[in-house]
Every structure is written in structure tokens, then in C-alpha cells.
């Protein structure tokens, strides 16, 4: 399909032409193409795995850390999950043509506001090959053409996945050019893609602060930033301690290399003596390095004294804990670790926790653990983030978990789309006005 076109400008132009046909395509045709993509992913799994093995080998040789390698890895189970996400998108309602609202004016004109595709969406992403399919499926279902630019670290995986998707879509009758993959090149290529104002309607970067900064410096096409996730959990004085330990452990260790993993835990001073010892012991045992404030370090010292006096001297390994805890630095509060590192500190109130998050958070996902309705409500109202949780792990911020089938990314800004970017977020709207010979006096 469009991947055969030579230049970025030509690929974007081909996508623009395709987008006009996609915008008026019926739901059944789009769904048939998505089913064909899902089936092709399963059928061509061995080919995809061979390509991914090349990327994994290159990644290990280049020194990619464990978290990045985990994001890069594809196996049979993950490919089946990607195909399953495509099937779930098929099952979702088509947003195109949905009437958002409507009314009749006093002069008799009928006004409707309906969803329409954006047109051409460019997605720039790092070493997450699943994004190739997630983004393509969401764009096709919402009537958009897509231009993909993946990371060089996933070049082989992205190439075969884009080929699978584009060939299956073409075979199902979708227009040529509706899926394009931009490969190779560096910052110059990124700058060229992000300035195609005549053909590209939106760019969604899915990556870290470096990618965000690079686009901010050059982009003239509108951008929705799906960037960093410096996520916090606040353990309130009214938290259930066992539940809090389990949630923090899940949010940090279930998959540490993703943007919805927790990076900082704030603990109310009244909850700290009961929460910190089991939480720190569990985190360190799971391989997490805890970077603690002065109070946290004193708590660790107190754990040694308590253990020495305990009837259960083997409750936890203090040598392991001492090795797994270090002093927090000021820069740690602003760091998205994307790995097994966690900042921990004590606050005196829910208001202090909210203020800390306002200074250091990235607007992604924040959580409070509490049984107190007033504390929960204060946190929900006071925290400015796309997703605010009460008594739940931040790991649920995900388009699939939210019932969107998949996502292109999680928007941390406020205009047009916020949080998981799914089908409706890939639409704009227009007003349809119907009259009966009306003229304006």
C-alpha cells in the first residue's frame, strides 16, 4: 500500500487521498478490514516473531535496559492479545456520524453536531511494536488514515506488522495509502513529518520527554502529547494497610516499564509507622530500589530495631532492605523511572499530597488509598490529572482496560482529548444545519 511510496511528503499525500474515502466508508466495510487484520496477525505470527527476534537481539547488543526490552518483546501470547484488541475494536460502536447533540432554533433551523474523522493521523512512538496495530485499528475504525513512525529499535517488528495490516486492509477493499509506515532517518525525518500541514491533521507522540521536546521544537501540525507518566499514590491516614501494600506493589512491579506504573508513593505521617515497614520490605523483596526521604530512612532504621526485639527475627532481611533503600534526591520527585525504582516520602495531610503532585506530577494518573470519603473527595477535586483513582492501582489507565479496545496513547494535556485516546478522541465534529428556504433578515 502506501509503504511503497518513496518520500514522507508523498506518503502523507497518499494518506490524505485515502482519508477522503475512509471518511464516508460504511461500518461493515471497516469492520471487515479489521477482522482481516486480526486474522492475518495470527496466521503470520511466525513471521512476526522472526522479525521481533532480530530487534530483541539488536536491543540486547546495544544495551537496552530490561524495561525497554520488555516493551519491545513480542511472543505468541502478546500477538494473540494484539489481535484480540483489534477484535474488540470491531465490536465497539462506530463513532463516525454519531449525533452528539441537536436542537431547533427559534427560526426553525434544525442543528445537529455530529462526529467526523480527523482525516490523517500521524503517530510517533518508541519501542512498542504493539502500537503499530493498536493505532492502525483505531484510526481505520474511526475513518482516519494513519502514518506511523516507530522507533529504530523496533524497525523489523514494525515493518512486518505494518505490512500485515496494510495488506490485509487492502485485501478487504480499503483504499491504498490508508496505512503508511515511515522508516529510517532521524530528527530531520521527524521534523519533516511534523510540518506536513497540508496533509496531516494531527500528530500523537507516544514516548518520553525527549520525544515531546523534539516535537515541541519543530511541529507545525497540531499535537496531542501522550507523554510521560510520573504517577503518584498517596496512602492516607485512613487507608486499609494490607490493601495499600498490595496496590502499591502492583502499581510498581506488575509492569514497571510503562507510563501508568507508580513512580512516587506519598504516605500520611499517621499511616507511615504501620504502612512503611511491610511496604518497603515487599518492594525490596520484589527488586525495587526505594529512594526515601529523611522520615523514610528513619523508619528503615526503626525496622532494624523492631526486628531485633521481635519474636520473629526472620520476618524480613534487613541486609537486603538496607541495600535496597537509599536517600531520595530532589530530582527523584520529577523522575519517571520506567523501572524498579520508587521515590517515597511522608506528608502531613491530603492537601500537602495534592500540592506535591501539583509540583511534580505529569498529569497522567494519580491515586489515593483511603476509607475516608472527605479525603477521597478532596483528592478527586484537587488533583489535576487525566485519571484520578480512589483505592485502585494506577495500572488501570489504559484504553483496553477502559473498554476502548485499545489506545493510541494517554493524553496528559487538556484540549480535545485527555487520558486514553480511543475512537471518539480520534474524531472532530461538524454542525449539520437543515432549513426550509431560510434566509437571514
Q: What is the CATH number of the domain that holds 51?
A: 3.40.605.10
Are 356 and 301 found together in one domain? yes
Rounded mean pLDDT, 273-280 = 94
With respect to residue 222, please indicate whether it lies within any of the assigned structural domains: yes
Detail the DSSP E strand segments found in 312-373. 325-327, 341-347, 365-369
Residue 95 CB partners (closer than 8 Å, separation 6+): 115, 142, 423, 424, 426, 427
Nearest to 206 by CA among 224, 231, 182: 224
Are 187 and 165 found together in one domain? yes
User: Any idea which of 29-43, 94-108, 201-215, 414-428 has the lowest mean pLDDT?
Assistant: 201-215
105 phi, psi to nearest 5 deg: -75, 160
With respect to residue 391, please indicate whether it lies within any of the assigned structural domains: yes
Rounded mean pLDDT, 139-157 = 95
Q: Which residue has the higher pLDDT, 3 or 425?
A: 425
Reported as a pLDDT band with limits 50, 70 and 90, residue 130 is very high
pLDDT digits (tens, 9 = 90+) for 328-363: 999 999 999 989 999 999 999 999 999 999 999 999
Reported as a pLDDT band with limits 50, 70 and 90, residue 126 is confident
pLDDT of res. 335: 94
Question: Between the CA of residue 385 and those of 222, 246, 287, what are the distances in Å?
Answer: 21, 23, 29
With respect to residue 49, please indicate whether it lies within any of the assigned structural domains: yes
Are 318 and 273 found together in one domain? yes
Rounded mean pLDDT, 21-50 = 97
Are 325 and 420 found together in one domain? no
What total number of domains does the chain contain?
2
Reported as a pLDDT band with limits 50, 70 and 90, residue 6 is low
Structural domain that includes position 307:
231-396
With respect to residue 439, please indicate whether it lies within any of the assigned structural domains: no
Are 101 and 175 found together in one domain? yes
Query: Rounded to whole angstroms, how far apart are CA atoms 206 and 170?
Result: 26
With respect to residue 35, please indicate whether it lies within any of the assigned structural domains: yes
Instruction: Among 206-220, 240-254, 288-302, name the most confident range.
Output: 240-254
User: Any idea which of 61-70, 309-318, 386-395, 428-437 has the lowest mean pLDDT?
Assistant: 309-318
Are 200 and 306 found together in one domain? no
Rounded mean pLDDT, 110-127 = 95
Query: Rounded to whole angstroms, how far apart are CA atoms 203 and 272?
Result: 43
Query: Rounded to whole angstroms, how far apart are CA atoms 53 and 421?
Result: 29
Are 289 and 202 found together in one domain? no
Are 248 and 205 found together in one domain? no
57 phi, psi to nearest 5 deg: -65, -45
Task: Name the one residue in this structure whose C-alpha cell is 467526523.
Answer: 116
Query: Rounded to whole angstroms, how far apart are CA atoms 27 and 113?
Result: 20
- Beta strand 110-117 with 289-292 is unpaired
Rounded mean pLDDT, 367-374 = 98
Helix (H) or strand (E) holding 268: strand 262-268
User: Any idea which of 141-150, 327-336, 397-406 has the lowest mean pLDDT?
Assistant: 397-406
With respect to residue 155, please indicate whether it lies within any of the assigned structural domains: yes
Q: What is the domain-level CATH number for residue 279?
A: 3.40.309.10
pLDDT of res. 441: 87
pTM of the model: 0.86
Query: Rounded to whole angstroms, how far apart are CA atoms 245 and 24?
Result: 51
Residue 424: strand, helix, or coil: helix
Helix (H) or strand (E) holding 90: helix 76-91
With respect to residue 135, please indicate whether it lies within any of the assigned structural domains: yes
pLDDT of res. 5: 45
pLDDT of res. 4: 43
Reported as a pLDDT band with limits 50, 70 and 90, residue 42 is very high
Are 50 and 161 found together in one domain? yes
pLDDT of res. 313: 58
Are 72 and 197 found together in one domain? yes
Percentage, residues of the chain above pLDDT 90: 77
pLDDT of res. 3: 43
Are 424 and 376 found together in one domain? no
Are 180 and 273 found together in one domain? no
As a whole number, the mean pLDDT across the chain is 92
Which grid cell is 371? 476509607
With respect to residue 359, please indicate whether it lies within any of the assigned structural domains: yes
Which grid cell is 211? 520525544
Reported as a pLDDT band with limits 50, 70 and 90, residue 252 is very high
Helices (H) and strands (E) in the chain, counts: 15, 16
Q: What's the N-to-C CA distance of the chain in angstroms? A: 52
Number of residues that make up the chain: 441
Query: Rounded to whole angstroms, how far apart are CA atoms 388 and 383?
Result: 7
pLDDT of res. 227: 65
Cα angle, residue 382 at apex, residues 381 and 388 outer, rounded to 5°? 70
Is the confidence at residue 284, as pLDDT, over 50?
A: yes
Query: Rounded to whole angstroms, how far apart are CA atoms 285 and 293?
Result: 20
pLDDT of res. 216: 87
Amino acid at each position: 500500500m502506501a509503504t511503497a511510496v518513496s518520500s514522507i511528503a508523498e506518503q502523507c499525500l497518499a494518506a490524505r487521498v485515502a482519508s477522503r474515502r475512509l471518511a464516508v466508508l460504511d461500518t461493515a466495510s471497516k469492520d471487515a478490514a479489521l477482522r482481516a487484520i486480526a486474522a492475518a496477525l495470527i496466521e503470520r505470527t511466525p513471521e512476526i516473531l522472526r522479525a521481533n527476534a532480530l530487534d530483541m537481539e539488536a536491543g540486547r547488543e546495544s544495551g537496552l535496559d530490561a524495561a525497554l526490552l520488555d516493551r519491545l518483546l513480542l511472543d505468541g501470547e502478546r500477538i494473540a492479545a494484539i489481535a484480540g484488541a483489534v477484535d474488540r475494536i470491531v465490536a465497539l460502536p462506530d463513532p463516525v456520524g454519531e449525533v452528539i447533540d441537536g436542537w431547533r432554533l427559534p427560526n426553525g433551523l434544525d442543528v445537529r453536531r455530529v462526529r467526523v474523522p480527523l482525516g490523517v493521523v500521524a503517530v510517533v512512538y518508541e519501542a512498542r511494536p504493539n502500537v503499530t496495530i493498536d493505532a492502525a485499528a483505531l484510526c481505520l475504525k474511526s475513518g482516519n488514515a494513519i502514518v506511523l513512525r516507530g522507533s529504530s529499535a523496533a524497525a523489523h517488528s514494525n515493518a512486518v506488522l505494518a505490512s500485515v495490516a496494510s495488506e490485509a486492509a487492502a485485501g478487504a477493499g480499503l483504499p491504498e495509502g490508508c496505512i503508511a509506515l515511515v522508516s529510517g532517518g532521524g530528527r530531520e525525518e521527524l521534523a519533516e513529518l511534523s510540518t506536513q500541514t497540508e496533509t496531516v491533521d494531527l500528530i500523537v507522540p507516544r514516548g518520553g520527554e525527549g520525544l515531546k521536546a523534539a516535537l515541541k521544537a519543530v511541529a507545525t501540525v497540531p499535537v496531542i502529547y501522550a507523554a510521560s507518566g510520573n504517577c503518584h499514590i498517596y496512602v492516607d491516614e485512613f487507608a486499609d494497610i494490607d490493601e495499600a501494600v498490595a496496590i502499591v506493589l502492583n502499581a510498581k512491579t506488575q509492569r514497571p516499564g510503562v507510563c501508568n506504573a507508580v513512580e512516587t508513593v506519598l504516605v500520611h505521617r499517621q499511616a507511615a509507622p504501620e504502612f512503611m515497614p511491610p511496604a518497603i520490605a515487599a518492594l525490596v523483596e520484589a527488586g525495587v530500589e526505594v529512594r526515601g526521604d529523611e522520615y523514610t530512612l528513619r523508619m528503615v532504621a526503626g525496622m532494624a530495631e523492631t526486628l531485633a526485639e521481635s519474636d520473629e527475627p526472620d520476618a524480613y532481611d534487613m541486609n537486603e532492605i538496607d541495600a535496597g533503600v537509599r536517600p531520595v534526591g530532589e530530582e527523584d520527585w520529577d523522575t519517571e523511572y520506567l523501572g524498579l525504582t520508587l521515590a517515597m516520602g511522608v506528608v502531613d495531610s491530603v492537601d500537602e499530597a495534592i500540592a506535591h503532585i501539583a509540583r511534580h506530577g505529569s498529569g497522567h494518573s494519580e491515586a489515593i488509598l483511603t476509607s475516608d470519603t472527605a479525603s477521597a473527595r478532596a483528592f478527586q477535586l484537587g488533583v489535576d490529572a487525566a485519571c484520578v483513582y480512589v483505592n485502585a492501582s494506577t495500572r488501570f489507565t489504559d484504553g483496553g482496560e477502559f473498554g476502548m479496545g485499545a489506545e493510541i496513547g494517554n493524553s496528559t494535556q487538556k484540549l480535545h482529548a485527555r487520558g486514553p485516546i480511543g475512537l471518539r478522541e480520534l474524531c472532530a465534529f461538524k454542525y449539520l444545519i437543515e432549513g426550509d428556504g431560510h434566509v437571514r433578515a
